[in-house]
Structure formats: structure tokens, C-alpha cells
């Protein structure tokens, strides 16, 4: 479909085609799963603080609902497009199936630079968006969550807007909410914690010591900062981190708690913290390290820079950070890749826990949540590793085949309506 024709969507479909070919997927199912089940594009007129009305464009895409309600984040970013959102929704379908969650994949977003809006403008934009996608969402239909550019406050506004429409509080309509509105303990750090759990499994598999491991992380938002802190707590040496403006490097290891304090609480740029030497994002990707974690945006590792990577393990904290051409180069180099649909699934796993708690009105302890998250994500890692070894294929293809097979089984058993 021409409307979906973006680099990110082409990457998602190419990955799917490669896995479908390898597993000899039924051609009818193959065509059915390439395109999203439902796509919505909405116009969002918003009254700005200066009295002018500005119209933004928003999207919500549901890729597949054969296994249950759709699930996926909402992204506020100036580059959001229908194709990008459709690709992310497809990856969410495989991610949920791989983790064994009773969800299909969805994703949403608005073309906007959120930092350029005032708090009041952001609230008006969010509420208008929630009102426009209201027919699609609901605890039994489609459950949004935070993504790039959104947070617990945005989820609160969406939950309130939806609840105003139905006339009573519906905390289960979104996840990633504050605790006071039915949020879950452990949700904020869930994606980063999941990244750490699977990285530890990979280190054990490769017989590498966590105490000797060095870590470089591209992206220092929610995922990157929590990954850095938790990896350091596990005994690894975090030698470099970066954000969109660049990063810092310290071969002896960064003081991550102090870095987070200055970066998040004081608003200092990473370079201005003076806790390491200034480096660019490209230089960070090429550092010699045990573990490299791309935790920023998609397509950061391509055929142009893949040959220069010097990591042993690549743990994909971001969605789609590695292109297919780069995959082939890294595989030849012997880099152990933990694919995005496995590595960053901690967020949707704990979102699932939040949704269950909201529906039951019964909330769990932080210890319960961490234990359940570790059980689910390490089990998914071991299943993927088993398929990779048995079928002599990459971890990415093994993860995709595992997820796609679960969705294909659901379609075969439900049949085609009408």
C-alpha cells in the first residue's frame, strides 16, 4: 500500500517475508499478515496558547487481533507517519506472541514535537486525539501505552477522556499510568529491566563474565537510563551513553546515578556533566565493548556502519534499530544479536501485568512483578535460543518465526470470516 511505503515499514515486511519463507508459511496467511487489520488517520485541531488553531495529524493502527485485544504505545514525534506506526504495530504483534501475552499488536502517534508545546497545549492535543480514536480503544479492544515523547501524564489524560465518554473510571483502557490511577509498580523501568535480563542470559550463554563486561548505550531516555543503572548494579562497567545531541565516554566506567541526577533532575546535557569525554552517536556505536544497546530510534545500524561495530552482544532496546543488510554483516562478524521483539518486550510484559491488575482491582508487589517479568522474558529468550540452535538460524529469525507461528495458529484455528 502506497500510504504505508516508508523505510521502517519496508524493513518490518522484509523481516516478516524472510521468516515466512524460512518457515514455509501458508501463502494465504502470509498475505493476510503483511498488512494491518485496521488503520485510522485523524486530524486534530488544537487551540494554541496564542489563540491560533493548529491542526496536527494523528494515527492509530491495529495490526492483528486474532489472539486478543490490541496493545501498543503512542508516540509523539515530528517524524511519525502511517508507515512507521504500521511497522511498529506489526512488531508488537510478534512481540506479544513471542512473550505468550494474549494480545495483538497496535501502535499510535501524532506528528508533533512535544517539547515545543506548553503543558496546556499538550493536554488539549492529547484529549482531542483520545476523543478521535475513542471508537477503536478500550480494555477489551485496544490498550495504548507510553512510547517516545509520551509518559504517565499523557496516559492519565487519555484514561480520563475515555472515562468521561463512558461515564465511569476505566483504568484498564491504558497502561503506563501513575500509581494513583491504577498504574503498576515496576512499569517505568520495565523495558530497561527486560533488556538487562536478556543480556545477562546472553552473557551466561556465551560464558562471558558480567564483572568483566563493558556496556555502551545509544539513547538515554527511559529505556537507556534504566538499562545503564541496572547493568551497573549487576556489576558491568557502563563506558558510554548518548542522546540525540551526542554522548560521553569514560573507559573506566561512568558514574551512572550521578549522571542520571544531573541529566534528569538538573537538565544538564550529557556532555556538560563533565563525567566523561564527549563523543558522537556514530562514535559510540563503534566503541569496543562487550554489550552495545541501541535504545534510540529505528535504523541506526546499517550497511554503512555495521562493519565498524566492535561489540560481542547487540541488545536491541529500540524498535528496528538494525537493517537487514546490517544483520547479515553482523552475523558474519559473529555478533550475538538479541532482537528487538525479544529484548525490549519487558515494557509490554509489565503493561500486561498492569492491565490484569486493573481488571481484577488487585495489585501486586514490586517483587512479584520483577519475578514474573524475569520468568516470562528469560523463558522467551531460551525458547528463541533453542529454535535458533535447532534450525541453525539467527536469533532474529528464530524470534520472528516463534511469534509468527503463534499468530498463524490462532488464524488457522479461528478460520476466515465470513
| Residues composing the chain | 418
The strand pairing partners of 55, in sequence order, are 45
- Which three cell numbers mark 59? 494515527
- CB-CB contact of 245 with 270 (8 Å): yes
- Which three cell numbers mark 380? 522467551
- CB-CB contact of 316 with 343 (8 Å): yes
Question: Could you give the angle at the alpha carbon of 79 between the alpha carbons of 74 and 85, nearest 5°?
Answer: 45
Provide the strand spans (E) within 280-346: 288-294, 310-315, 336-338
* Closest to 352 (Cα-Cα) out of 98, 133, 62: 98
Give the residue numbers annotated as catalytic, written as ranges: 107
3-state secondary structure 353-416: HHHHHHHHCCCCCHHHHHHHHHHHHHHHHHHHHHHHHHHCCCHHHHHHHHHHHHHHHHHHHHCC
Measured CA to CA, the distance from residue 406 to residue 384 in angstroms comes to 13
* Closest to 164 (Cα-Cα) out of 190, 208, 134: 134
Q: Give the H or E element holding residue 62.
A: strand 53-62
Amino acid at each position: 500500500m502506497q500510504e504505508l511505503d516508508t523505510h521502517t515499514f519496508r524493513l518490518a515486511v522484509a523481516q516478516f517475508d524472510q521468516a515466512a519463507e524460512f518457515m514455509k508459511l501458508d501463502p494465504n496467511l502470509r498475505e493476510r499478515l503483511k498488512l494491518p487489520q485496521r488503520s485510522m488517520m485523524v486530524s486534530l485541531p488544537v487551540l494554541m496558547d496564542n489563540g491560533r488553531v493548529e491542526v496536527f495529524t494523528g494515527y492509530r493502527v491495529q495490526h492483528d487481533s486474532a489472539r486478543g485485544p490490541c496493545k501498543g504505545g503512542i508516540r509523539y514525534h515530528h517524524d511519525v507517519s502511517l508507515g512507521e506506526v504500521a511497522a511498529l504495530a506489526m512488531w508488537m504483534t510478534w512481540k506479544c506472541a513471542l512473550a505468550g501475552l494474549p494480545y495483538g499488536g497496535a501502535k499510535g502517534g501524532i506528528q508533533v514535537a512535544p517539547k515545543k508545546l506548553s503543558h496546556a497545549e499538550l493536554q488539549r492535543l492529547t484529549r482531542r486525539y483520545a476523543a478521535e480514536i475513542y471508537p477503536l480503544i478500550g480494555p477489551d479492544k485496544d490498550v495504548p501505552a507510553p512510547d517516545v515523547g509520551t509518559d504517565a501524564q499523557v496516559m492519565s489524560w487519555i484514561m480520563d477522556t475515555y472515562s468521561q465518554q463512558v461515564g465511569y473510571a476505566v483504568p484498564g483502557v491504558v497502561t503506563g499510568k501513575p500509581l494513583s490511577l491504577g498504574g503498576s509498580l515496576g512499569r517505568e523501568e520495565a523495558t530497561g529491566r527486560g533488556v538487562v535480563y536478556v543480556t545477562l542470559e546472553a552473557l551466561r550463554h556465551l560464558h562471558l563474565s558480567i564483572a568483566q563486561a563493558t556496556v555502551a548505550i545509544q539513547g538515554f531516555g527511559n529505556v537507556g537510563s534504566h538499562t545503564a543503572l541496572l547493568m551497573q548494579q549487576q556489576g558491568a562497567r557502563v563506558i558510554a551513553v548518548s542522546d540525540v545531541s551526542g554522548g560521553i565516554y569514560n573507559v573506566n566506567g561512568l558514574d551512572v546515578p550521578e549522571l542520571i541526577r544531573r541529566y534528569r533532575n538538573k537538565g544538564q546535557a550529557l556532555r556538560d556533566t563533565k563525567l566523561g569525554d564527549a563523543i558522537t552517536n556514530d562514535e559510540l556505536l563503534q566503541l569496543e565493548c562487550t554489550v552495545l544497546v541501541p535504545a534510540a530510534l529505528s535504523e541506526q545500524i546499517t550497511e554503512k556502519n555495521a562493519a565498524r561495530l566492535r561489540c560481542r552482544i547487540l541488545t536491541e532496546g529500540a524498535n528496528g534499530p538494525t537493517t537487514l543488510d546490517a544483520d547479515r554483516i553482523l552475523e558474519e562478524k559473529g555478533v550475538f544479536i538479541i532482537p528487538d521483539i525479544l529484548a525490549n518486550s519487558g515494557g509490554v510484559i509489565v503493561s500486561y501485568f498492569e492491565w490484569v491488575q486493573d481488571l481484577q482491582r488487585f495489585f501486586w508487589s514490586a517483587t512479584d512483578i520483577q519475578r514474573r517479568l524475569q520468568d516470562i522474558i528469560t523463558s522467551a529468550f531460551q525458547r528463541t535460543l533453542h529454535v535458533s540452535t535447532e534450525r541453525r538460524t539467527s536469533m532474529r529469525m528464530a524470534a520472528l518465526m516463534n511469534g509468527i507461528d503463534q499468530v498463524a495458529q490462532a488464524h488457522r484455528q479461528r478460520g476466515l470470516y465470513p
